[in-house]
């Protein structure tokens, strides 16, 4: 394929980038994906993917062997007791009934309430305007406005009595954000597609069997199938070259120049200011937004599944998500530690187990440990060796309190995030954060659909939304890549 005849360059071989590239390739356009990392999946394994059914159909991912799956079971462990929320509602109700009969009866109504709130027309009215409108009290209650005004804790308190059940929901909703479950407006987090797909699989988004790793495999396979598409791994972008106020080419570290009339980027917004050259003025600051608050991710390899109270091995082996002592008050304390740029003494961990066979033919289990509320930089500085070891030790200690002897059985440990080589944000960077980004890091992300922005002519930046499904932004960028500020409903 001739490099000078590209129609589009996609920066980043994450799922959104691959979806964008696949959609363009399907339209017959010559497209190249450039990715800084190597071909081995970076963080994919162990992570769920909730994909819009529309994306899966548009790209015929089924043809690449991709299958929808039921949502994983979610387990909460408190003391000697476990509560398992099976994806099947009746089974979940039966489990809840053993510890809180009244809550079992409330589950269906709670699900229905979330679905209604999520599917309410995404009006542009501000909560403040709604609160002060003369007719508000006389109009039928606008529950979706209440979701945008209130906290997760309050919505859960209204629905249930049982603290373990409330904690399971709260921890799922805050994951990937810097929001406290007690913060006003955090109620909207319940309308995330990742949560909705679990309670309403026919509402347009589905879990993918095998998660992000499998989705990535299917997308890469699809791109290989198109001879007008190419993926270049280990290729770092050095420059986005603009001429006459339009981006014309992507220049890589090795000097390769990829000329294309359209560049679709999945990099964080602020990175583009450093990469763009040849512009008379840089893109406006107000487009700079913060990154999502990535939870810490530690992989611990063990020989056999640990014994956890109330959960059998088959459930763990099925990929169930296990939350250790989830509770709103513990989450709130951990959030306080996060704001103080430290780690909570008793973090709120999430565990998942996956099996694999090693090169020497032995079966091994990987425990994927996820810890929310990890500050981008600690009070003592960025995440370097000793601090990362401390984080891993904290995870192990916490698991040991539920599964005695777990720590002693660990054969290998790997901290995947926070990364040492690539400081997510150094202290200088944190100080330079714009107000918007500071809010993104500590507040509730605005409930909105995935969107794409034309930052500079010829450069489209994907803005995946926490509330949308995987692939929504990618498909949108490929479809409307040249149209500025196009948006699509999260439930499209």
Q: Is the peptide bond before 25 cis (omega within 30 degrees of 0)?
A: no
CB atoms within 10 A of CB 436: 17
Report how far residue 149's alpha carbon sits from residue 279's, in angstroms, rounded to the nearest whole number. 41
**CB under 8 A: which stretch of 180-188, 197-205, 364-372, 389-397 binds other proteins?**
180-188
Sign of the dihedral defined by the CA atoms of residues 140, 146, 149, 154, in that order: positive
Please say which residue, 52 or 180, places its beta carbon nearer to other proteins: 180
Q: Does 153 bind other proteins (CB under 8 A)?
A: yes
Number of residues that bind other proteins (CB under 8 A): 49
> Which element (helix H / strand E) includes 454?
strand 451-456
Tokens of 470: 């995987």
**CB under 8 A: which stretch of 7-15, 198-206, 295-303, 339-347 binds other proteins?**
339-347
Phi, psi at residue 378, to the nearest 5°?
-90, 175
Residue 365 DSSP one-character state: E
* Least distance between other proteins and beta carbon 172 (Å): 19
Q: Which listed residue (340, 393, 404, 432) binds other proteins by CB under 8 A? A: 340
To which residue do tokens 């997510």 refer?
424
Name the nearest CA neighbour of 268 among 20, 5, 14: 14
Please say which residue, 108 or 213, places its beta carbon nearer to other proteins: 108
Q: Does 436 bind other proteins (CB under 8 A)?
A: yes
> Which element (helix H / strand E) includes 351?
strand 350-357
Q: Does 184 bind other proteins (CB under 8 A)?
A: yes
Q: Which listed residue (2, 40, 137, 386) binds other proteins by CB under 8 A? A: 137
Please say which residue, 248 or 442, places its beta carbon nearer to other proteins: 442
> Which element (helix H / strand E) includes 439?
helix 435-442
CB 249 within 8 A of CB 241: yes
**CB under 8 A: which stretch of 5-13, 38-46, 313-321, 330-338 binds other proteins?**
330-338
Q: Does 130 bind other proteins (CB under 8 A)?
A: yes
* Least distance between other proteins and beta carbon 248 (Å): 34
3-state secondary structure of 237: strand
Q: Does 126 bind other proteins (CB under 8 A)?
A: yes
CB atoms within 10 A of CB 413: 18
CB atoms within 10 A of CB 386: 9
Please say which residue, 80 or 138, places its beta carbon nearer to other proteins: 138
* Least distance between other proteins and beta carbon 146 (Å): 7
Strands (E), 236-362: 237-243, 246-252, 257-259, 262-265, 276-277, 296-302, 321-324, 350-357
CB 467 within 8 A of CB 488: no
Q: Does 182 bind other proteins (CB under 8 A)?
A: yes
**CB under 8 A: which stretch of 210-218, 268-276, 312-320, 441-449 binds other proteins?**
441-449
Q: Does 94 bind other proteins (CB under 8 A)?
A: no
Site string for other proteins, 371-410 (x = CB under 8 A): ----------------------------------------
CB atoms within 10 A of CB 224: 12
Q: Which residues sit at the interface with other proteins, rule CB under 8 A?
A: 102, 124-138, 141, 146, 149-151, 153-154, 157-159, 180, 182-185, 187, 332-333, 335-340, 344, 434-436, 438-439, 442-444
């Amino acid at each position: 394929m001739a490099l000078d005849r590209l129609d589009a360059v996609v920066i980043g071989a994450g799922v959104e980038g691959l979806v964008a590239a696949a959609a363009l390739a399907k339209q017959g356009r010559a497209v190249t994906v450039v990715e800084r990392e190597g071909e081995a999946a970076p963080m994919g394994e162990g992570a769920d993917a909730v994909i819009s059914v529309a994306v899966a159909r548009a790209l015929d991912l089924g043809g690449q062997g991709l299958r929808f799956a039921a949502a994983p079971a979610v387990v909460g462990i408190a003391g000697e007791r476990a509560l398992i929320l099976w994806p099947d509602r009746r089974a979940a109700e039966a489990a809840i009934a053993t510890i809180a009969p009244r809550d079992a009866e409330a589950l269906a109504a709670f699900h229905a309430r979330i679905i209604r709130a999520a599917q309410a027309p995404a009006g542009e009215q501000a909560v403040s305007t709604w609160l002060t409108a003369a007719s508000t009290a006389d109009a039928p209650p606008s529950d979706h406005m209440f979701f945008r005004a209130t906290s997760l804790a309050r919505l859960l308190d209204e629905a249930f009595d049982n603290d373990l059940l409330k904690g399971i929901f709260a921890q799922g909703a805050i994951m990937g954000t810097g929001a406290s479950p007690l913060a006003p407006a955090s109620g909207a987090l319940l309308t995330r597609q990742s949560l909705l797909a679990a309670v309403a699989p026919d509402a347009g988004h589905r879990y993918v069997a095998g998660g992000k790793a499998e989705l990535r495999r299917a997308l890469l396979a699809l791109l290989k199938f198109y001879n007008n598409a190419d993926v270049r791994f280990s290729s770092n972008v050095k420059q986005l070259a603009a001429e006459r106020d339009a981006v014309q080419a992507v220049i890589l570290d090795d000097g390769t120049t990829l000329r294309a009339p359209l560049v679709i980027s999945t990099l964080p917004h602020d990175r583009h200011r450093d990469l763009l050259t040849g512009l008379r003025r840089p893109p406006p600051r107000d487009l700079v937004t913060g990154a999502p608050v990535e939870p810490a991710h530690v992989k611990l390899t063990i020989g056999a599944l640990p014994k956890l109270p109330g959960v059998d091995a088959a459930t763990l082996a099925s990929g169930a998500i296990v939350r250790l002592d989830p509770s709103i008050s513990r989450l709130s304390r951990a959030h306080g530690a996060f704001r103080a740029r430290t780690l909570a003494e008793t973090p709120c961990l999430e565990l998942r187990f996956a099996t694999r066979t090693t090169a020497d033919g032995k079966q091994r289990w990987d425990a994927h440990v996820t810890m929310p509320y990890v500050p981008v930089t600690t009070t003592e500085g960025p995440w370097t060796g000793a601090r990362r070891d401390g984080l891993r030790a904290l995870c192990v200690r916490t698991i040991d309190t539920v599964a005695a002897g777990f720590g002693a059985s660990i054969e290998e440990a790997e901290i995947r995030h926070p990364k040492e080589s690539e400081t997510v944000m150094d202290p200088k960077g944190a100080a330079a954060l714009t107000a918007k980004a500071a809010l993104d890091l500590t507040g509730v992300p605005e409930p909105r659909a995935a969107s794409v922005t034309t930052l500079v002519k010829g450069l489209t930046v994907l803005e995946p939304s926490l509330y949308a499904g995987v692939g929504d932004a990618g498909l949108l960028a490929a479809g409307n890549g040249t149209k500025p500020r196009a948006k699509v409903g999260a439930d499209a």
